Amino acid sequence: MFSDAGSVTKDAGSVFGHIQPTAGAGIRARTPVGPVRLDLGYQLTANPPLERFALHFSFGYPF
């Protein structure tokens, strides 16, 4: 389980005005090619509500 908050903006001056909190859960597995990760995130304040979920899959070691 995890929680996170962040923002993507065009200029550094408006970063703190648009922070979006997110919560979710993930699964990790060790394989011969490295770890495999599957995460499902839920944006708590998304607008429109249909875009609240994000699925992230990755394998190998993160940088």
Strand runs (DSSP E) across 1-63, as ranges?
2-6, 20-31, 34-43, 53-59
Whether the per-residue pLDDT at 58 is higher than 70: the answer is yes
Whether the per-residue pLDDT at 59 is higher than 80: the answer is yes
Query: What total number of domains does the chain contain?
Result: 1
The answer to whether the peptide bond before residue 48 is cis (omega within 30 degrees of 0) is yes
Average of per-residue pLDDT values in the chain: 84
- Euclidean distance between CA atoms 40 and 42, whole angstroms: 7
Query: What confidence score (pLDDT) does residue 49 get?
Result: 67
Q: Which residue has the tokens 């903006």?
A: 9
Structural domain of residue 48, as residue ranges? 2-9+16-59
Tokens coding 32: 């011969």
Query: What confidence score (pLDDT) does residue 15 get?
Result: 62
